[in-house]
């Protein structure tokens, strides 16, 4: 892991971990997050990321509504 998979910037910082305990990073340039799997063959599954991100946001929205 040396550059952001989204914008190729090397200016990123650690950003907690994923649910699976993998290191997560946040790019300071595009402000998107990615995990240490990026750049590996598994990153080819990236096409699923948008759907994954969408469902995660939906889940968060639902949770916030429940709290409020
Ligand atoms: Zn980036």
Give me the average pLDDT of each 10-residue run along the chain (68 residues): 87 88 91 74 56 74 74
How many angstroms does the Cα of residue 4 sit away from the middle of ligand 1? 5
Q: How do strand 23-27 and strand 33-35 relate by DSSP bridges?
A: antiparallel
Model-level pTM? Answer: 0.50
Q: How do strand 33-35 and strand 12-17 relate by DSSP bridges?
A: unpaired
Q: Under 8 Å CB-to-CB from 6, ≥6 apart: which residues?
A: 27, 30, 32, 34
Q: From the centroid of its chain, how far is CA 8?
A: 15
How many angstroms does the Cα of residue 38 sit away from the middle of ligand 1? 12
Which residues make up the environment of ion ligand 1, defined by Cβ < 5 Å? 4, 6-7, 9, 27, 29-30
What is the pLDDT, as a whole number, of residue 58? 78
């Amino acid at each position: 892991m040396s550059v952001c998979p989204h914008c190729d910037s090397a200016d990123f910082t650690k950003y907690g971990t994923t649910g699976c305990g993998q290191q997560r990073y946040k790019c300071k340039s595009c402000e998107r997050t990615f995990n240490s799997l990026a750049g590996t063959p598994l990153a080819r599954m990236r096409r699923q990321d948008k759907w994954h991100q969408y469902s995660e946001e939906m889940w968060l929205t639902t949770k916030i509504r429940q709290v409020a």
